[in-house]
Amino acid sequence: MATHSSAPARGAALLADPLLNKGTAFDPRERAELGLDGLLPPATETLDEQADRAYEAFLGYDKPLNRHIYLRQLQDTNEVLFYGLLTRHLEEMLPVVYTPTVGEACRRFSEIYRRPRGLFLTYENRHRFREILRNRPGGEVDVIVVTDGQRILGLGDQGVGGMGIPIGKLSLYTAIGGIHPARTLPILLDVGTDNEDLLGGEHYLGRRQHRVTGAEYDEMIEAFVSAVEAELPGTLLQWEDFATAHARPILSRYQDRLLTFNDDIQGTAAVALGALSTATQIAGAHLTDHRIVVLGAGSAAIGVADMIRTALLEEGLSEQEAADRFWFVDIDGLLVRSRDDLTPEQRVYARDDAEVRQWGAGTPDLARVVGEAKPTVLIGLSTAHGAFTEEIVRGMADTVDRPVILPLSNPTSHSEADPADLARWTDGRALIATGSPFPPLKLGGREVPVAQANNVYVFPAVGLAVTACRATRVTDRMMVAAARAVGDYAVRAGRDDVTPLLPPLADMRDAAREIALAVARTAVEDGVAPEATEADLRTAISTAQWTPRYASAAAPG
């Protein structure tokens, strides 16, 4: 299948196409044959030379947001160079392309907007979605990332500014998973915004109305899914940063109808399970040994518990035994069965009131739950900065030799704890992964990287897997397989007891192939992909992973 328009482009039109433009890498013959003479400086550079020059320009910007803008402009000018640069400096540039800098880019989307990318689908055009999908650049699409901008990271409703998230995610689908950039499509469903600052802002580029809700919202989602089914059947559709009230119902409604998953629910869950899998191996324990306290009970937190629970079921626990390994705390305290404000998904993890009454009067808060439940694992998905206090962490560390502590909230300003504090309060015994990047820890005279539980460990590999094996659905077991593969790779790549809980970011393209293989094997086992041997799947994955390099652009002789 073609990855870009086959119509010949020449001269200035060729230089304006970011998928075909090679800039100063066009050689003299190409310049002569394609009408480029005089349009470029005379020097001819290799991709490596261009990337070196672009990296120096990148370093010339002091502020992360300005570096983000520079990289986005490069992406809109020359995609091969952008991905060549990004893959060479992935660990350094990931926080600029995605979290945490992408949060600021979303917040200021209308201010820094330069060039269009992807599709903006508004509520008023819901009956024309099929027609609008045909306006997409390029042809076939392997992966769509869609958001409605309502719950962007820990920043809340960003309206049309949420488009920064699908653009950033798809950059990583390509840089790590190797999905061809021409076969990706970011989409923003603009149903309005309830952010009054945006609605009253002078430069806001989105729909200046409050959010569509209820049946009208559901109608728009159905119109979008139907249009995707009709125009792009077989495309992986990833839901991103939808509010808790919508995220789970949308996933439940469509996960058995098309190739789809929700990254906040399932991707976050898989990378958390991957970190927990590594920690469990380092501690010489079994997954079934853990007692897990979770702060936060939104869709991401419940998704993490559901994923771990699925893994516990695979290890032989019953449904009830697996659910009993969890204690959930939200803004109103511990989730107990007598509460009437719980969703069906939350109620699975609600504790028996009789058990809690033995702890004394009142609804237990986090400190009390940790003191009574004596967890081996503490997970934060609350966006409550500093919620893992010294008292709580020291209390936990008194009852377990290697406490697993995962403050996963984004961005950094919303993290439940600073890893340096966690290490100090536990005398370096804590096994830590965070949602946002933090500097290395100094332990025993060594610098130890802090594992960032970024969904980048999972979603690019899932995209690569389903594209390579031609899967028709994303099953829970496929996501658990991804998580276990993440943990296994981290253990193999690590060293002794200071092994980071997640693989080195610099290795992620290689890791993505191994994780994709585990996902693809499980897809075949689950009957949602054609029969294939492991050797067949390895070949298909290797073939599908695009690498940024220039092709000859000269006209046929």
Active site residues: 98, 169
Identify the helix (H) or strand (E) that includes residue 59. Answer: helix 47-59
Q: Rounded CA gap, 548 and 175, in Å?
A: 9
Q: How far, CA to CA in Å, does 340 sit from each of 281, 346, 360, 391?
A: 39, 11, 21, 31
In whole angstroms, what is the distance from residue 290 CA to residue 405 CA?
12
Displacement of CA 499 from its chain's centroid (Å): 23
Q: Are 475 and 526 in contact (CB under 8 A)?
A: yes
Q: Is 240 annotated as a binding residue?
A: yes
SS3 assignment, position 451: strand
Burial of 127 (0-12, 13-18, 19+ CB in 10 A): exposed
The backbone torsions φ and ψ at residue 405, rounded to the nearest 5 degrees and listed phi first, read -125, 120
Q: How far apart are CA 169 and CA 445, in angstroms?
A: 36
The residue behind tokens 């658990």 is: 480
Residue 33 CB neighbour total at 10 angstroms: 16
410 among annotated binding-site residues: yes
454 is an annotated ligand-binding site residue: yes
DSSP E strands, 123-199? 143-147, 184-190
Q: Report the distance separating Cα 332 and Cα 517, nearest Å.
A: 42
Quick check: 43 and 24 in contact, CB under 8 A? yes
Give the residue carrying structure tokens 């995707």: 228
Per the annotation, does 368 bind a ligand?
Answer: no
- Rounded to 5°, angle at Cα 345 from 326 and 526: 90
Distance between CA 342 and CA 336 in Å, rounded? 9
Burial class for 507, CB neighbours closer than 10 Å (0-12, 13-18, 19+):
middle
Residue 475 and residue 453: Cα distance in Å, rounded?
21
CA angle 505, 509, 512 (to 5 degrees): 95
In the annotated binding site for (S)-malate, the residues are 151, 410, 454
Going by the annotation, the residues of the binding site for a divalent metal cation are 240-241, 264
